[in-house]
Structure 1
Amino acid sequence: MAAKRYRTTHVLSFAVTAVALLAAAFSLTGCGGGAGMGNIMQGAGGLFAGSPKIAMGPVVGPPKNVTSQLTQALQTAGAERNLTILPSGSEEAEYTLRGYLLSAAEGSRSRISYVWDVDDAAGKRVTRVSGEEVVAGASSSNPWRGLNSTAMTNIANSTASQLAANLPGGRGGGLAKPTASSSSSSSSSFTGRTAAATGAAGAAAATGAAASSSSRSASAPKPSGVKVGSVSGAPGDGSSSLASALKTKLRSSGVKVVSGGSNVYTVNGTVKLTSAGLSKEKIHIDWRVLEPSGKVKGTVSQENVIPKGSLNGSWGATANAAANAAVPGIKRLVQ
């Protein structure tokens, strides 16, 4: 099976407080939770008395236009199930919805995997829902291209149905039947195994079905851990800071990080900077996950535009935020 590439454009949502320009450049709200999204959803609150009020949080992965369209679809699907979807940061919200989406091109199709976490006002997660959508019309250069309005409606309906079933006050929690133009599955669990391993199609997306382990023989022993290898091309202290931060973030997410061994996954990082104008530059990070044999399992990519030269010194909290944003995709490849 060919290695799969996950394009997580806008995923470099680095919450950096030390440098104001970086904070603006890497803000997660820039991925779809900012003023534009507020305009889309203005007036949503208060329409459904007694319904759970959910503020949109960051959506990691898709381009901004996809996030905006998906937000509209979620608002509509939520209203049909007595869920009030509010703009990011709404004070009246009881919950916050955070999304993680991956898109992997598979020939002429794309597999969209999604996970949604719902946190309460104290920041504690109260539920997690997930699913996947397979759509036609993708390309290796743009796996999001096939995500049309029908597919977004399917994702929104599946997500809203699961949320309605898991949150007090929601109604109509039964999963909506997907349209014939695409295939859809969902799951409210996050087991860390692929559908091929569990025999449950609904578990595919939440566990990283796009990072299927079918390339590994069923008789082969499962890799015993993940080794963080080299990070090349980063300015300043980025190479060492990124590697160290990724180890820490993987461990805190439950991934077993090892210093060596023959039967382990290896994650190597490559950073590339290109000019994006007089005062800006584009940063692109590829995290390549290798099988124990050395074969590429898949790649998680991050990209954003930053002030020129802003990462020439110490990366500090920026490295932590970059690593934290990469972990969901890496976990789907190694679990």
Structure 2
Amino acid sequence: MSFSRRAFLAAPLALAACGPLPQPFRGRPGEVARRLARPPGYRVAVMPGAGVLLTDGDAETLSRAVAEALAGQEIPAVSGEALPLDWRLLLAAEREGGNVVPRYALRDADGQALGMLVGRPVAARDWAEGGEAVLRRAAAEAAPNLATLLARIDAQRRTGDERATGSGPPVLRLIPVRGAPGDGNRSLTARMRERLAGFGFAVQDQADGAQYAVSGQVTMAPGASRAVQRVEIVWTVSRRDGQDLGRVLQLNEVPAGSLNGLWADVALVVAEEASGGIRDVVMNAGGFAGPAAAPAAAAPR
């Protein structure tokens, strides 16, 4: 069988131009400035917790309000489900006498605690019945302090972690493949790890320090007849700031039930075909600087 039909979509890069304002420090930023004067290296997914003391609808309203308030502070933030490299801002609240105190817990993509912020108390009745106006006011009050907390954590990481400054090979988090029958999840993940390492990526399991993430999803469906199954494999490449850079799509039909056990050489063929598309997506996003892509010729076969 062959997975030779492959397609990838790469998102264009947007470049911001400098305006005609005076720039007295241009060309002389200093060593720390070189590492800090760029957009935030993360995206924040705002997620309401079970203990937020609100209805589900109001909890979603608060989540959206916090994400919008953070965006107003130039923090890349979204409300809802997190992508593999997103930081998580978990919302909660506690009763203190006649008040409710909002709490904001920040975690990285590996679930490690980064910091916490305690918001301004709100009258318990207002919290429960005040609706969108009260929740947006709470979000607006917390956003500047959250932005300061995030900036401090990001600056510490950028100056303390050499990989976060962009030196060395691109660091890529490989998410275990999901949805495959038999030993497909394990075999596809292992073969893809080998292929991407051969292309010069530093491949790791954890999110901390990764610049890119790759996740694979397998979908099995009935084929044109009972004798075959349709196999669809989608590899999604994303960046730490939440940008979906592209997808590598593989489609094929196989004898029904043939992948319910060991994938063996099938996993190798799939990884060989898809890994080149993943490399191209990252290259188009600037992940490899010029000759750094050379190891591709030596990728294991």
Q: TM-score, normalised by structure 2?
A: 0.40
Structure 1 or 2, whichever has the larger Rg, is 2
Ranked by relative contact order (alpha carbons within 8 Å, sequence separation 6 or more), the top structure is: 2
1 or 2, which has the higher helix percentage?
A: 2
Q: TM-score, normalised by structure 1?
A: 0.37
